[in-house]
């Protein structure tokens, strides 16, 4: 087994392990996993994610794809979707104002 990555906290570790397992990888978590103290800060909360040596390259590609998807989903797309109703409302108000002004002149 080789260390693929490290995360901080048990929840992110379990989510990452579930994602990798859903892709068919064998995953082992080591470190501060489900301990009674539930430390969630610093190196005491670090959980190492291990995969078999022959699966490490493919698993790292899955991690890269997840990071790219997260950036695209969180940063770019929601802002663009929120802007569309405002642009449509502005165009409608502008069109009504233009029609009203041109009717009276």
pLDDT single digits (tens) 36-52? 666 666 777 889 999 99
Q: Is 34:10 a contact under the CB 8 Å cutoff?
A: yes
Least confident of 59-68, 69-78, 86-95: 69-78
Spatial separation of the C-alpha atoms in residues 39 and 10, rounded to whole Å: 9
Q: Is 62:19 a contact under the CB 8 Å cutoff?
A: yes
Domain borders along the chain are 2-104
Q: Is 21:27 a contact under the CB 8 Å cutoff?
A: yes
pLDDT grade, residue 75 (50/70/90)? low
As beta bridge partners, residue 2 has 51
């Amino acid at each position: 087994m080789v260390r693929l990555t490290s995360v901080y906290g048990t929840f992110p570790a379990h989510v990452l392990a579930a994602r990798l397992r859903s892709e068919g990888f064998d995953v082992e978590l080591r470190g501060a996993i489900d301990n009674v103290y539930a430390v969630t800060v610093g190196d005491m909360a670090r959980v190492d994610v291990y995969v078999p040596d022959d699966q490490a390259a493919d698993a790292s590609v899955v991690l890269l794809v997840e990071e790219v998807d997260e950036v695209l989903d969180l940063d770019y797309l929601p802002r663009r979707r929120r802007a569309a109703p405002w642009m449509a409302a502005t165009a409608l108000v502008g069109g009504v104002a233009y029609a009203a002004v041109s009717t009276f002149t």
